[in-house]
Amino acid sequence: MSNNNLLRPDFTEDLVGFMVQSMLTISRFPRAPFALVPLSKTDEVIYGADALIESISPIYIQFKRSFAYPEYSASRIIKDRKGLKIDYSPKTLFFDLRAKKPHHTEFQHNVLFDLKSQLDSAGKGKAFYAAPLFLNRTAYLLAVHMSALLSWRPWHYFRDYPFLEQTQTVLTSTGSIRFHNIPILKEHIVIPPHAKVTTHKHRYSYLETGTEVCFHEPTQVDGANSLGQEIYDFLRFRDGQPTTEMIGFEDSRSFLADLSSGITDLNSQQLGDNISNRWIAFGEYLRKEFEIFQFGLIKLRN
């Protein structure tokens, strides 16, 4: 792929992961016994004693950063989009798939795809890529600031709540958090892995609006969303209960065994009989080997 006119971000993928994780991992939902937390050895302290966990539903995210080509570039990405007759103006954002590590037998993309397939089949979780729709930190912070200013109405000045409730309300009476209204999460695109690959030399491209996604074979693909909307749809509460199906924590042993099968061996002799240790070990392995972050929506015991 040509680097001609390539526009590079001024931040790392680690920063993307940290930024989004800080917004997602709200310690406890108001008026509801739920929490959304990272699950790995590094983050074990966040959610405390596993004896408090009643049920779980996992989410797997591969954080990416976006690169870009302007519309006048001679890059293959722009040529592919022209050939498919999809928009590429004023610039096209994209990210590459991750190459194998020397000791890996499978591509990171295929690991994420297999997780998604199993979770979709069971109806009990999510797996996807998440990438910011911006290239530099300064412009991003300005966009967040402006999103608040543009929602301001002068005639609300003497009211207790100065923003338009329908567009800026984050909390509801049931304890649901409107993640799709949080600016930082609206500024990220979610792309589920749509097919297996035999090489890492592929990429996903998309517009700054988070629309018209192309996988560079090339083909146009569906299923993209904003990160805020994706999380909101996953967590949307119904009478104080999330719409996603939760798995009893003790009953999640076989489910976790199926998820981890073919990825890593969760050796019971090393981990013991503690189901929490097994979830943490799987999350740590995914994070260390594939940079896939494991989150869990957990219901806490009363």
- For the chain, how many structural domains are there in total? 1
Per-residue pLDDT at 294? 93
- DSSP class per residue in the chain: ---TT-B--SS-HHHHHHHHHHHH--S--TTSSEEEEE-SGGGGGGT--GGGEEEEEEEEEEE---EEEETT---HHHHHHHHHT----SEEEEEEPPPPPTT-SS-HHHHHHHHHHHHHHHTS-EEEEEEES-S-HHHHHHHHHHHHHTTB-GGGTTSS--B-HHHH--B-TTS-B-GGG-HHHHTEEEE---S--SSS--EEEE-TTS-S-EETTTEE----EEHHHHHHHHH-EETTEESSPPEETTTHHHHHHHHHTTT----HHHHTT-HHHHHHHHHHHHHHHH-EEEEEEEEEP-
Q: Which domain holds residue 105?
A: 13-300
Q: What is the pLDDT of residues 175-225, one digit of tens each?
A: 566 777 676 778 899 999 999 999 999 999 999 999 999 999 999 999 999
On whether residue 59 sits in a domain, the answer given is: yes
Mean pLDDT on 285-294: 93
% of the chain exceeding 90 in pLDDT: 43
| pLDDT, position 31 | 55
pLDDT classification of 226: cutoffs 50, 70, 90? very high
Average pLDDT over the chain, rounded to an integer? 80
Q: What is the pTM of this model?
A: 0.84
Tell me if 5 is assigned to some domain. no
- Place 151 in a pLDDT band, splitting at 50, 70 and 90: very low
In a domain, 7, yes or no: no
Residue 284 lies in a domain: yes
Q: How confident is the model at residue 3 (pLDDT cuts 50, 70, 90)?
A: low
Whether 1 is covered by a domain: the verdict is no
Per residue in 27-36, pLDDT (tens digit) is: 455 555 777 8
pLDDT tens for residues 238-283? 777 788 889 999 889 899 989 998 888 876 656 667 888 889 999 9
Q: Is residue 227 part of a domain?
A: yes
